Amino acid sequence: MTRKTLLSHKPVIIAGPCSVSSRDQILRIAREMKRIGVHALRAQLWKPRTKPDSFQGVGEKGIPWIKEIKSTIGIPAAMEVTSPQQVDLVAEIADILWVGARNMQNYELLKRISKENHPVVLKRGLIATVDEWIAAGKYIGIDRVVFCERGIRTGADAMRFTLDLNAALSLKLDHHLPVVIDPSHTAGRRDAVPSLAKAAIACGADGLIIETHYNPEEELVDKDQTMTIEAFEDVVSRIKEIYTITHRLS
């Protein structure tokens, strides 16, 4: 897959659980994402966490599960890499590489990823400026990066983070770069995700990354912001309508 191929979907939708926890979990969700028409599956085997005693992901144990999904279900996988040592292993099976917010300025990781040919989702750091975000993308290769706004830390504390649509628009209008929005992480609560997702598409974002699960209460990471599959399917339908209207008027 190339960045151009990924962005040919309008809007592009990447979805799935916050983290892979078992073979049955990820296969079941992958089937649902394929049915709904999601363009890439969230398939995170490693999860960098703030607290060391939190679930850190299943790691290499999950590699055969992702291979099985790709061979039997046929949905592309977007997979996070958290260290340079993981890149070879993940790049062998992933269609899209993923750099999380905490690693946006892990330059050794970015330089290692630059040696691959995959498109890369690059999440914005928690307090990174737009210029710093773009500079991180240049380490990878700006023509391969899809920038992801996932909310930043500000003085506002009504929700988990503050969705900075100003930054997303700056990437689009001033730098002509592709940007997707992660409303799940910025909200931290599932009831706010649909409204933020619709706002993101209405203002011109290229797509969304949304966390979804058949039973969010079973999710080991960020269950409060994870949508049910039924609610997610409704959001997908609505954002496609908004995308059509927005681009008809632009």
Largest CA distance in the chain: 49
Tell me what the mean pLDDT of segment 98-105 comes to: 97
pLDDT at 175: 98
Q: Which residues contact 31 (CB under 8 A, 6 or more apart)?
A: 73
Q: Using one digit for the tens of pLDDT, what is the confidence trace for 197-213? A: 999 999 999 999 999 99
Residues 54 and 90 sit within 8 Å (Cβ to Cβ)? no
Instruction: Supply φ then ψ for residue 227, to 5 degrees.
Output: -85, 155
**Alpha-carbon distance 89 to 210, whole Å?**
25
pLDDT band at 250 (very low <50, low <70, confident <90, very high): low
CB-neighbour burial class of residue 13 (10 A; exposed 0-12, middle 13-18, buried 19+): buried
**Alpha-carbon distance 121 to 198, whole Å?**
20
pTM: 0.96
Domain boundary assignment for the chain: 3-249
Instruction: Supply φ then ψ for residue 110, to 5 degrees.
Output: -60, -40
The CATH number assigned to the domain with range 3-249 reads: 3.20.20.70
H/E stretch holding 80 reads: strand 77-80
Residues 73 and 31 sit within 8 Å (Cβ to Cβ)? yes
SS3 state at 207 = strand
